[in-house]
Amino acid sequence: MPPASSLHILLTKILGKDANCEANGGVFLDAKFVQLILDLSANNKRMIQRLEATVNQINAKVNAKVNPIIEQMAEFEKMLKAGPKPVASTGKSFASIASTALNGSIHAPTTRPPPKQVIASLKPKRVIIHSNPASMEVKKMPSGALVQKANKALLGLDACVNGEQVVIRGASMIHSGDVSFYTKNRTHQKWLMDNKHAWSKTAHPNLEATPSTYSVMAHGVPRSFNNAKPTSLAQLASENGFQASDLACVRWMGSSKPTAKKAGSIVLAFTSKDLASRIEKSEWVILANGVAGLKNKTEGINSFDHTPFSMASPHKKAWFYKKPLPSQ
């Protein structure tokens, strides 16, 4: 039973058994009291109208959600009664359609593809850093934390390209277990690749990156040259205009075991691309007297050029003039 309204309570007190009735049973009401009853009646009417409006709104919302469900259920019942639709059979075979001429149906595209520069700019700019396969810490670390640590390392290195701070925008783990870092453009990507050994370990100790190296091959080097001795490397650097610290490593081509050959070829891995290019284009004086003396004693060698495709190299000359096999 709903609670009584103010009008109902007032009328109960006036007309109830405890009311002050006159001898004839009537109840006297003055003008103010009558006005109060009218006001309460009007207020009661407004409350009823508001309640009806609220109920109508609730019904409308319920119908809006229930009606589509009822319609879908009705359609589903129709589909169950009607059964699956028959598959429309094609009147033509594949051979007849394939043999039909396509006159006028092929047109050139109306829009031209974007230039190569735009396509290149849209390609992902990423740097892949190897991780230690024996450890699972990098795989368990959230990519957001990895990016945050990498950017903190870049701030410490003051990494800038053309006055713009180098920033890593994201990272993902690839199937091999290595980490792929994403950056803004290719200039930032190049900086990250050239300096990967400087910031990768700060981002995570299990990331493995070594400085990029640029190799140059030198021919006709005397076998007496010991690439394992620091003094030999220091002499090699001083006589050719660079520092020994610019060399990442020096190794012999082929086997380093003792041989009867007087000279061989070595590969020098430089940490600077510009220095490697300059060394490659210049005329070397590696261990002066050593190579020069060897060349001066070699028949047919009268040039001091060390390029690998030049006939000045005794190894290249021997390969070029070698006798063909009998089967040839």
Q: What is the pTM of this model?
A: 0.39
Position 114, amino acid: P
**Does domain 121-208 match CATH 3.40.50.1820?**
no
SS3 292: helix
**Does domain 214-320 match CATH 1.10.10?**
no
Q: Which two tokens stand for residue 115?
A: 């230039």
State the angle between helix axes of 143-156 and 196-203 in degrees (0 to 180), rounded to the nearest 10.
Answer: 130
Q: Supply the pLDDT for residue 52.
A: 92
Residue 20 has pLDDT above 80, yes or no: no
Chain position carrying tokens 């990029």? 212
| Helix/strand/coil percent split, the chain, to 5 | 45, 15, 40
In this structure, are residues 181 and 187 in contact, taking their beta carbons and an 8 Å threshold? no
Q: What is the DSSP letter of 296?
A: H
Residue 83 has pLDDT above 50, yes or no: yes
Q: Supply the pLDDT for residue 54.
A: 92
For the residues 11-37, what does the mean pLDDT come to? 68
Residue 112 has pLDDT above 70, yes or no: yes
For residue 185, count other CB atoms closer than 10 A to its CB: 12
Position 10, amino acid: L
Q: How many helices (H) and strands (E) does the chain have?
A: 12, 9
CA distances, 15 to each of 12, 30, 36, 72 (Å): 5, 14, 15, 57
Element (H, E) at 168: strand 168-173
For residue 270, count other CB atoms closer than 10 A to its CB: 22
With a pLDDT cut of 90, the percent of the chain lying above it is 6
- One DSSP character per residue, 5-73 reads PHHHHHHHHHHSTTS---TTS-----HHHHHHHHHHHHHHHHHHHHHHHHHHHHHHHHHHHHHHHHHHH
295 falls in which pLDDT band (50, 70, 90)? very low
Q: Supply the pLDDT for residue 319.
A: 59
For the residues 129-144, what does the mean pLDDT come to? 84
* Domain assignments of the chain as residue spans, ordered by start: 121-208, 214-320
Task: Determine the Cα–Cα distance for residues 244 and 253; give it in Å rounded to an integer.
Answer: 20
87 falls in which pLDDT band (50, 70, 90)? low
For the residues 137-166, what does the mean pLDDT come to? 89
Mean pLDDT of the chain: 76
Give the phi and the psi of residue 284 in degrees, each rounded to 5.
-80, 155
Task: Determine the Cα–Cα distance for residues 60 and 314; give it in Å rounded to an integer.
Answer: 97
> Which residues, in sequence order, are CB contacts of 81 under 8 Å at separation 6+?
none
What are the pLDDT digits (tens) for 217-246? Answer: 887 788 788 888 888 888 888 887 888 888
**Between residues 138 and 304, the one the model is more confident about:** 138
Q: Which two tokens stand for residue 70?
A: 């009822």
Residue 180 has pLDDT above 60, yes or no: yes
Strands annotated E in 54-142: 126-131
